[in-house]
Amino acid sequence: MAWGYLLIAGLLEIGWAVGLKYTDGFSRPVPTVITIVIMIASFFTLSLALREIPLGTGYAVWTGIGAVGTAIAGMILFGESKDAIRLACIAVIVAGIVGLKLASSSGASIEASETLNASSES
């Protein structure tokens, strides 16, 4: 469930990052309020994920989802550059997110195995 919370938090981060563009420097009240609500929801769901996911992994994945999603949203919504170098860099971020997830999963298995071995030796 923690990884689900982290995914939701990352998607909400995309929402508030894009929302910042629409606030026009926090000068437009409705987009500002919506952006702040989404921001709070993102932080809240991140905090739920961090109950089980290590801080470094959770934060890196959260910001990675936000960075990739916001870059893609910028391309779609605001006509930002889609050049090959930019897309390659986004792919590297995605690879890092996947790598952290895989490393976290295998680390949890190792920790669980060590805990099980320690308790059976007692």
Tell me which residue range forms the domain holding 67: 2-121
For the chain, the domain total comes to 1
Query: How do residues 63-116 score in pLDDT, each as one tens digit?
Result: 999 999 999 999 999 999 999 999 999 999 999 999 988 988 765 544 444 444
Query: How do residues 13-53 score in pLDDT, each as one tens digit?
Result: 999 999 999 999 999 999 999 999 999 999 999 999 999 99
Instruction: From residue 14, give the alpha-carbon distance in Å to each of 8, 11, 43, 59.
Output: 10, 5, 12, 14
* CB neighbourhood size of 85 (10 A): 8
Gap between the Cα atoms of 83 and 122, Å rounded: 59
